[in-house]
Amino acid sequence: MDNIQLPNGYTLASRSLWKPAYPNDRPPMPIPARRVFIHHTVTPTTVDPCHDMRVVERALRSNGRLDPGYSFTVHPSGVVLEGAGHKVGKHTMNHNSTSYGIALIGNYQINQPTLAQIIAVSRTINLLRVGGHLVLNGAEDIDPHKDVYPTACPCINVLGRNLDFIRWFTFNPV
């Protein structure tokens, strides 16, 4: 996947830009996927999206995961970084081959996600839909990770109005 920059400010950074330590040798995602799970990484953030994505990769590796976990991650600046991309990730047990996992880089038990992050998550979901990679029946197909696994992820500050906005904007793009 190439780096994508759209005129509306959307930026998607491919794996080749952030230079992961491990290859993405996961199998292709069966298309179309039917759900999106929202996560957060609980990792520190800097002004450098590529650096922060490598920190996420190291955190996943320290938990024994050598594969790309999330399909895409979203930096507080709004830059979207390719993880597993259009291959099966390891983000939501028993749902990886039928869903995309999008993680907000940062700790949202403590901090609020940025507006740029929330908009970039919605735009990513819409691009997946327009590209034929994702078919959603409605807003209920955009779920927090905690809905299917006993975890606090994606934490309180992503839930509520921020998740509501992601769902609304996905189905009412402006």
In this structure, CATH architecture of domain 4-171: 3-Layer(aba) Sandwich (3.40)
Residue 1 has pLDDT above 70, yes or no: no
Give 17's pLDDT tier (boundaries 50, 70, 90): confident
Q: Averaged over 32-41, what is the pLDDT? A: 93
Q: Which amino acid is at 44?
A: P
Q: Which amino acid is at 146?
A: K
| Per-residue pLDDT at 25 | 86
Quick one: tokens of 87? Answer: 């291959």
Give 174's pLDDT tier (boundaries 50, 70, 90): low
The pLDDT tens digits for 101-142 are 999 999 888 889 999 999 999 999 999 999 999 999 988 899
Q: Is 79 exposed, middle or buried (0-12, 13-18, 19+ CB in 10 A)?
A: buried
User: Considering the chain, what is the average pLDDT of its residues?
Assistant: 86
Residue with tokens 């490598």: 54
| Per-residue pLDDT at 62 | 75
- Any idea where the domains of the chain sit in the sequence? 4-171
Residue 45 has pLDDT above 70, yes or no: yes
Supply the pTM of this predicted model. 0.91
Q: Strand runs (DSSP E) across the chain, as ranges?
A: 4-5, 11-13, 35-40, 72-74, 80-82, 99-104, 142-144
| Per-residue pLDDT at 134 | 95
Quick one: tokens of 6? Answer: 């759209």
Residue 151 has pLDDT above 90, yes or no: no
Mean pLDDT check: name the lowest of 3-7, 9-13, 135-139: 3-7
